[in-house]
Chain A
Amino acid sequence: MIELTFPLSDAAVRDLKVGDPVSLYGMMVTGRDAAHKWLIDTFIKKTRTPQGDDAQAIEALTPLLKGGAIYHCGPVVAGLDTKQYRFVAAGPTTSIREEPYQADVLQHFGIKAVIGKGGMAARTLAACQSVPAVYLHAIGGAATLIAQTVTRVVGVHKLDFGVPEALWVIEVKAFPAVVTMDSHGHSLHAEVEAQSRAALDRLLKA
């Protein structure tokens, strides 16, 4: 088990290989469909002008993302009435939906780790090589277990996106994951896809 504390150095990222089990510590930011679209439209492609608290949100998030981690997660959160937030269930969501955005978001903000499930495709894998960054696969559905590694909810941005889609800033301790895409161009997902394709072809020939 390799312990990683955010922010990560380039050297720490390059040491990681597909198949490595990791245990995560420190701060991360959750972000999924609405967050990625917001980051791209407002701050990268700039097709949308910043509105409301956008400027404050990005000012707070930028230093956290530099060398940091974005977690594809839409949590169940208790304490919404009192703002004494507590993560109750917080497993990963399917990452492939962010494939159109992820490479640009990694490059723009200097993010070193994407945490999610199901893996991502060629553009993200290429960005993992150039940034460099890694894709860390959390266990889908293991939501209560992962929530118990969240030691503190530091804050939340864009809560108007709704609880699942907001950007939650959290601190974690011993969050378990596996490296499935590394900064050397290797992807476990591409490998399993090819092997299972060969198995499917055999079964369909029978």
Chain B
Amino acid sequence: MRDLTNDILELIRRTSTDLPPDVEQALGAARQRETQGSAARGALDTILENVTLARRDSSPICQDTGTPIFIVRYPAGWSTRALRAQIREAIAQATKKAYLRPNAVDSLSGKNSGNNLGDDTFPTIYFEEVEGKTLTIDLLLKGGGSENVCAQYSLPHTGLGAGRDLEGVRRVVLDAVHQAQGQGCAPGVLGIAIGGDRGSSYMASKEALLRPLDDVNPDRALADLEARILRETNELGIGPMGFGGKTTVLGVKACGLHRLPASFFVSVSYMCWACRRRRMIADGDAVRYSDRSEP
């Protein structure tokens, strides 16, 4: 098994400094919709200029380079122990090169480890063995401002009149976006998981954020729900940075999970406009990178 440390370092550099084209296009379209001279338009101008500068200079799009979340799908024969060590080494090197901010803080002592490495949960790494010979690593850099406005609801929810159906899901998601206001660096992307337990639900809502903004959910009911929530969250008028405006959300990605008869969780992961995601694909000795995390 070859050593992938340098390839993973390049995956981190690209993810932190080069916004995926689908997100940049959505921001450009949002800019066109805002009125000339408005604070919303000014915010999007600055955002788009920053995206260009970060790509040119290989410097982080956002200083909060977030929790690095790796999803590794490996063929039989790879050592997850070795892969974990390589990912951790790449994280430490990327931090030294200032592609990442040292973000790992010991919650009991308050000490920042300085190299972005904490216990086994920092960075977050998920492993799954897959068929075939191709190894893929998806990386999502999930910032703290947007993480703080994520929300999980247990349905039914009396206050919002939300029952255990897709209408109930719609109602709680609108509430979550209203509560977030501009705090999660709007315009954001919503990952929504319906069902699961509290843990699996949140995880699935994060994984949904890996989907390209312009894909269409193969499930017709979910595709309709995504389109409706996208339209209605933008009617809230919160706008870029919460300055007021026409674009509050850039995309909505939903999925369903099996649940217990007793539980009906809806998890809403809010991703800031700096939706930093990338895929690395290793096939034998060839490594390539993709802006799109499609199957």
A residues at B contact (CB < 8 Å): 19, 21, 34, 73-78, 88-91, 93-94, 96, 117-119, 137, 139-148, 161-165, 176, 178, 180, 188-189, 191-193, 195-197, 199-200, 203-204
A161 to B112 alpha-carbon distance, docked (Å): 7
Contact A144 B50 (CB under 8 A): yes
Q: A89-B60, A139-B241, A195-B237 are in contact. List 16 more A-B contacts (CB 8 A).
A: A21-B39, A74-B64, A78-B98, A89-B61, A94-B148, A118-B242, A140-B62, A140-B185, A146-B50, A147-B63, A148-B53, A161-B112, A162-B105, A162-B114, A164-B63, A200-B174
Q: B185 touching A117 by the CB < 8 A rule?
A: yes
Are the CB atoms of B243 and A89 closer together than 8 Å?
no
Interface residues of B, count at CB 8 A: 54
Which of B117-125, B126-134, B176-184 makes up part of the contact surface? Answer: B176-184
For the complex, what is the distance from the CA of A143 to the CA of B54, rounded to whole Å?
8
Q: Is the interface of A mostly helix, strand, loop or mixed?
A: mixed
- Taken together as a complex, chains A and B put the C-alpha atoms of A140 and B240 apart, in Å, by 10
Point out residues on B near A: beta carbons under 8 Å. Answer: 39, 42-43, 46-47, 49-50, 53-54, 57, 59-65, 98, 100-103, 105, 110-112, 114, 143-145, 148, 160-161, 171, 174-175, 178, 181-183, 185, 232, 235-239, 241-244, 272-274
Q: Is the CB of A118 within 8 A of B182?
A: yes
> Could you tell me the distance between the alpha carbons of A203 and B243 in the complex, rounded to whole angstroms?
21
Task: Verify B236–A144 contact, CB threshold 8 A.
Answer: no
CA distance A73 to B62 in the complex (A): 11
Q: A34-B110, A118-B182, A137-B241 are in contact. Are A76 and B60 (CB under 8 A)?
A: yes
Residue of A nearest to B148 (CB): A94
Q: Of B42, B61, B239, which is within 8 A of A144 by CB?
A: B61
Which secondary structure dominates chain B's binding surface?
A: loop
* A189 in complex: contacting residue of B57, B242, B274, CB < 8 Å: B242
Quick check: A163 and B112 within 8 Å, CB to CB? yes
Interchain CB contact under 8 A, A144 and B244: no
Which residue of chain B lies nearest to A73 when distances are taken between CB atoms in the complex?
B63
In the complex where A19-B39, A117-B182, A196-B181 touch, is A163 in contact with B101 (Cβ < 8 A)?
yes
Q: Are A199 and B235 in contact, CB atoms less than 8 angstroms apart?
A: yes
- List, in ascending order, chain A residues with CB within 8 A of B98's CB: 76-78, 88-89
Please, which residues of chain A bring their CB within 8 A of the CB of B144?
93-94
Partner of B60, one of A88, A193, A196: A88
Expressed in whole angstroms, the Cα–Cα distance for A193 and B242 within the complex equals 9
Residue of A nearest to B240 (CB): A139
Residue among A77, A137, A139, A189 making CB contact with B50, cutoff 8 Å = A139
